[in-house]
Amino acid sequence: MSLTTLVRGTILALLLSALTCLSAVAESVPRSINEIVTLALKHSAELVALEKEASAKQSMSIQAGTITNPTLEFQGVTGSLTGSLEERSVSIGINQELPLNNKLRLRREAILQEAELLHRQRDNNARLLKDEITTLALDYLLTSKRQELVAELVKLNRELVAIAEERFKAGDIPELDLNLAKVELARAETRLLEAERDKTAPRIKIASLTGLNESDINLSEKLSVPNIPPKANALVTQAFASRPDLLALTCEREKAEIEARLAQAEALPNLTAGIFVQWQRGNTEVGGMSSINSDTQLGLRLSMPIPVFDRNHGGRAAALARLDAADSRKLALERAITAEVESAVSLVSASERILMMFEQGIIPQLSENLKLTREAYRIGEVGILSVIDEQKKFFEVNDSYLAAIYGRQIAFLKLETAVATVLIGGMQ
């Protein structure tokens, strides 16, 4: 073997290896629904913004709990402008406002509740985003399964055309039967193109929410049937404990309660305490004789507004009104959650019954009927219209079966969203 041949063989092997690696890289990696949800949560700018706003509120709570800076006072008095040249005084002091009735602590707690409220709003937005992206993923899975079903229909019609051509050549059937088979094949191929088109919309939305390229959308899961969840009463209790929007209203109520106590505390004004040093020089005249004297004084100064006219009546009334409003909103949301959970449980039960009808009585018999009808046509016992009709039934019923599975998963997803908890047997 010459050196040139060896070099060419080596280069060819390297090129083949490179092409193999490129094809492996170009192929999209299958992802589960949980992975898609995780990517969507990380990619959401709204969730990031709420997290930053909560951090800002926590920083503001530190500032709200900080006492104000002291005030430095400087005062000078002279009698030179009034003819008393020896009369002068200088004083310097520091004043500090002292909040009473735990006002600083209450203000800090109120802002901390605002930060917690933002955290709960972020969790609620994440809950709704998870519901949206999971629904889109299930839509994509449904369109994929329908595409597989239509591909199976295309295969059946191609086989039917092949059988019809054989029988037409043998003179067993007229040309009309062969044309009918070809028409059904063309219709099935058109449906296959439509099924591929239907995958575009959910793929684009998933890519937008996750930051992936459209070509990278490839789900590894299949449409499956989750287990039956617990009873409605237990789920309502669980929803009350875990729903972030309800927890957000709880934070809002606690904030309103703290603000009511703060409004009550602000009825008493703050005390201002100060300490000062004063140096004085003066001229004293007694019996025609004068003497210059000076002294230094150290003093304490206390001041407070007298709460005669303003006792924060308006602020206290507004705070109590906000507290009542928070109670009303929380009660209304609890009723809405109860209705939402009970409706979701009822929907799950109904979709379960529909699915059982398909699995226990319709699907097994349908496949057997199609097999028998096709075999009967092959040997000439039935006409082509019977086969076409049976294939249409096969497609329509299987499509309805896929819709039933999809409806069962959507019902279970809505129940999980209503409870705000991943239920046992749910979509993993």
Residue 27 falls inside a structural domain: no
Q: Are 178 and 164 in contact (CB under 8 A)?
A: yes
Residue 284 falls inside a structural domain: no
Residue 212 falls inside a structural domain: yes
CATH code for the domain in which residue 376 is found: 1.20.1600.10
Q: How far apart are CA 258 and CA 127, in angstroms?
A: 28
Q: What is the pLDDT of residue 223?
A: 63
Angstrom CA distances, 297 to 70, 84, 281, 300, stand at: 21, 21, 12, 10
Q: Are 426 and 177 in contact (CB under 8 A)?
A: no
Output the DSSP codes for 55-116: HHHHHHHHHHTSPPPPEEEEEEEE-GGGT-TT-EEEEEEEEEEE--TTHHHHHHHHHHHHHH
Q: What is the pLDDT of residue 5?
A: 46
At 299, list the tokens: 């003093």
Angstrom CA distances, 14 to 9, 17, 22, 26, stand at: 9, 5, 12, 18
When divided into structural domains, the chain yields a total of 1
Residue 186 falls inside a structural domain: yes
Residue 276 falls inside a structural domain: no
Range of the domain at 129: 37-66+99-269+305-419
Q: Which of 158, 335, 330 is nearest to 251 (CA)?
A: 330
Q: What is the pLDDT of residue 228?
A: 58
Residue 281 falls inside a structural domain: no
> For residue 386, which amino acid is it?
S
Tens of each residue's pLDDT in the chain, 428 residues:
444 544 444 554 454 454 444 343 345 677 888 888 999 999 999 999 999 999 999 999 888 888 889 999 998 887 776 767 677 888 999 999 899 888 899 999 999 999 999 999 999 999 999 999 999 999 999 999 999 999 999 998 898 889 888 888 888 888 888 899 899 899 999 999 998 898 889 989 999 998 888 878 877 766 665 565 557 788 899 999 999 999 999 999 999 999 999 999 988 898 999 998 988 877 766 666 666 777 888 889 899 888 888 888 888 899 999 999 999 999 999 999 999 999 999 898 888 888 888 888 787 788 888 888 888 888 888 888 888 898 888 899 999 999 999 998 899 999 999 999 887 644 43
Q: How far apart are CA 150 and CA 55, in angstroms?
A: 52
Q: Is 251 helix (H, G, I), strand (E, B) or coil?
A: helix
Q: What is the pTM of this model?
A: 0.79
Q: What is the pLDDT of residue 172?
A: 83
Give the chain's radius of gyration (CA, Å). Answer: 41
Residue 220 falls inside a structural domain: yes
Residue 238 falls inside a structural domain: yes
Phi, psi of 297 (to 5 degrees): -125, 145
Torsion angle (degrees, nearest 10) of CA 314, 317, 320, 322: -60
List % helix, strand, coil for the chain (3-state, nearest 5): 70, 10, 20
CA triple 11-15-20, angle to 5 deg: 150
